[in-house]
């Protein structure tokens, strides 16, 4: 393991990667929509060997007291032991909680869902949008895969019919009021080099990572840093510029 880490660090010192990718190159991205029949919306995203499945389920409930006429969005993540030897059964661990929060922040800060249109009766009843993230295989960069799957699932979701107090989940014709496609791009710093879309080997030796959520209008809507390393202001500027450029390409994968 130590030899592997040293090898990766030696490659990084030359701006090279173990899988021969360029510093700003993503692994192959595959996006599939509507993969769960019973869900209001769903998507499966593969980035290299990393694979994430997201399902959207809707219900009704009470709004938050400070937002009486806004619908509610809830994001949760599940790390199955079959996805990685490092995952355990039981309540969500720190990594799962962080993944859910980062995905939530990007979607929420971009104003992806028009929550005003999810109000049924102000102060009493609104639609609840549950975004469930399931990690099927962990080979690095879960954040970007989960964020892309979540936005794809939301973009293709249809609301169940509501008549009085009864929800008809068999009849879904109205589109979920979604108005943007935020894209999250993650960078890892290894030594003095910055790499886009770190694989699992790279994540194991990185000093830090920075995930950048970019809105359709090229504005940055969320940032999440992990690790103890730092970036200079000049490096942050380059990262943000690269994130905006890369987001334009990846956004086209959302059908």
Look at the chain and count its residues.
Answer: 255
Instruction: Give, in order, the Cα–Cα distances in Å from 161 to each of 120, 122, 175.
Output: 12, 19, 11
pLDDT tens by residue, the chain, 255 residues: 678 889 999 999 999 999 999 999 999 999 999 999 999 999 999 999 999 999 999 999 999 999 999 999 999 998 876 666 666 555 556 889 999 999 999 999 999 999 999 999 999 999 999 999 999 999 999 999 999 999 999 999 999 999 988 999 999 989 999 999 999 999 999 999 999 999 999 999 999 999 999 999 999 999 999 999 999 999 999 999 999 999 999 999 997
CATH number at residue 25: 3.30.230.70
111 domain residue, yes or no:
yes
Global pTM value: 0.94
Is residue 95 within 8 A of residue 143, CB to CB? The reply is: no
Report how many domains make up the chain: 1
The answer to whether residue 154 is domain-embedded is yes
Q: How far apart are CA 144 and CA 47, in angstroms?
A: 8
Establish if 247 belongs to a structural domain.
yes
Please indicate, yes or no, if residue 86 is contained in any of the structural domains.
yes
pLDDT of residue 82: 67
CA distance 228 to 218: 28
Range of the domain at 146: 21-251
Q: 210: part of which helix (H) or strand (E)?
A: strand 208-214
Judge whether 15 lies within some domain.
no
- Residues 239 and 251: their CA atoms lie apart, in Å, by 18
Residue 3 belongs to some domain of the structure? no
- C-beta separation of 84 from 179 below 8 A: no
């Amino acid at each position: 393991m130590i030899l592997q880490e040293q090898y990766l660090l030696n490659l990084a010192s030359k701006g090279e990667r173990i899988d021969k990718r360029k510093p700003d190159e993503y692994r192959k991205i595959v996006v599939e929509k509507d993969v769960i029949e019973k869900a209001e919306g769903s998507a499966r995203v593969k980035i290299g060997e990393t694979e994430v499945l997201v399902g959207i389920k809707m219900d009704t409930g009470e709004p938050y007291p400070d937002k009486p006429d806004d619908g509610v969005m809830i994001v949760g993540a599940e790390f199955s032991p079959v996805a990685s030897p490092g995952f355990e059964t039981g309540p969500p661990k720190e990594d799962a909680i962080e993944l859910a929060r980062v995905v939530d922040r990007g979607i929420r800060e971009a104003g992806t869902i028009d929550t005003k249109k999810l109000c049924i009766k102000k102060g009493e009843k609104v639609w609840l949008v549950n975004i469930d993230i399931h990690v099927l295989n962990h080979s690095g960069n879960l954040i970007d895969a989960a964020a892309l799957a979540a936005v794809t699932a939301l973009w293709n979701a249809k609301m169940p019919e509501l008549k009085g107090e009864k929800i008809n989940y068999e009849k879904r014709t109205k589109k979920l009021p979604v108005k943007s496609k935020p894209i999250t791009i993650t960078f890892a710093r290894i030594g003095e080099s910055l790499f886009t879309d770190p694989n699992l080997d790279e994540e194991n030796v990185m000093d830090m990572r920075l995930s950048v959520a970019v809105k359709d209008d090229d504005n940055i809507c969320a940032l999440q840093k992990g690790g103890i390393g730092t970036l200079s202001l000049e490096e942050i500027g380059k990262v943000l510029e690269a994130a905006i450029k890369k987001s334009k390409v990846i956004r086209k994968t959302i059908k």
